[in-house]
Structure 1
Amino acid sequence: MNVKIKRLSEHAVIPKYAKQGDSGFDLVAIKDVIIEPGETKKIPVGLAFEIPEGYELQIRPRSGITSETKLRVQFGTVDSGYRGEVSVTVDNIEHVRYSSQPRIMQGIFAGDNDFNVVKPTLTHFPKVNKGDRIAQGVIAPVIQATFEETNELNETERGENGHGSTGIKERDC
């Protein structure tokens, strides 16, 4: 499959697969971005894609970022009709640190320096650097459904049992 790519920045890196048989290709940041605890930022990759109709570009996390930092890349979809710049949405899940631990006194929160946020050096905050491989893209087929309203659905063994209904532990361990 051929996918046309438009470079929107001189710093943009045309994607390639690292190894034969890989499903994902790297998406690379085109600028430095600091993401403070609790923040979410969109990181541009400087590219626009012409995804063929019937396909999508899935944006997925890279395991190195997830296992080594508090940054979490959000799964995303780029539809075949979109022609704008692709960006990667990244959350910093680290908690905000305070100069003192708050405590409850007479029903209200109180603490030394009441909730002053610690101002650490920038090295305390995860930083995405220009040139970092921040996410991976996967081209995947899209199946569009035809929806039919009904008053009845077929019964199954699971039925309406939802989240957690199959348990956490393997029963035979």
Structure 2
Amino acid sequence: MDVSITVLDEELPAPQYAHPGDAGLDLRAAVAGTLNPFERMTVPCGFAMAIPDGYAGLVIPRSGLASRHGVSVVNGPGLVDSGYRGEIMVVLVNLDPQEPFSFERGDRIAQMMIVATPSVTLHNTDQLPASVRGAQGFGSSGVS
């Protein structure tokens, strides 16, 4: 699939896959910053894109960033819809209760997956079809 991008910061590399077969494009910080415990910051990524109709971009954490630094990614536009044309932003949140987290301009801070988004038509009904799980809630499938 071809996706058009506009590079807004010529000094940063365009989003790219780190390895063949990777699902997420690496997103880089266009600015440096430091987050104190429980602080959040919206970080620009230096590009805009035109995701085709029928698709969306999901901004997700980089596994290494979260596991090494206790940082969570809460995505700026979150779900990047196909009609959005602004700069891609990532909201970083430092969940470490004691240590600040610093990042430099150009650091890989998140990933974006381009996913298919089928259009659905909802139908109101008085009763849903039965399923094995039924109405059992979060965690109902157990831990093992």
TM-score, normalised with respect to structure 2: 0.90
Residues 12 and 47, structure 1, Cα contact 8 Å, conserved in 2 = no
Q: Match for 1:127 among 99, 102, 119? A: 102
Q: Which amino acid aligns with 2:25?
A: F
**Residues 3-37 of structure 1: per-residue CA shift (max 9 Å, x gap):** 11112223332112222222212110011111111
Q: Match for 1:153 among 119, 125, 128? A: 128
* Unaligned ranges ≥5, structure 2: none
Once residues 57 and 137 of structure 1 are traced to their aligned partners in structure 2, the CA distance between those partners, rounded to angstroms, is: 6
Quick check: which has more Rg, 1 or 2?
1
Equivalent residue, structure 2, for 1:86: 88
**Residues 82-106 of structure 1: per-residue CA shift (max 9 Å, x gap):** 00010111111122x6xxxxxxxxx
* Unaligned ranges ≥5, structure 1: 98-123
State the identity %: 39
- Relative to its length, the structure with more strand (as a share) is 2
1:140 equivalent in alignment to 2:115: yes
Cα distance, 1:67 vs. partner?
1.1
**Residues 135-156 of structure 1: per-residue CA shift (max 9 Å, x gap):** 1111111111101111111122
Runs of 4+ in 1 over 3 A off after TM superposition: none
Aligned residue pairs total: 142
TM-score, normalised with respect to structure 1: 0.76
1:59 equivalent in alignment to 2:59: yes
Cα distance, 1:70 vs. partner?
1.7
Equivalent residue, structure 1, for 2:41: 41
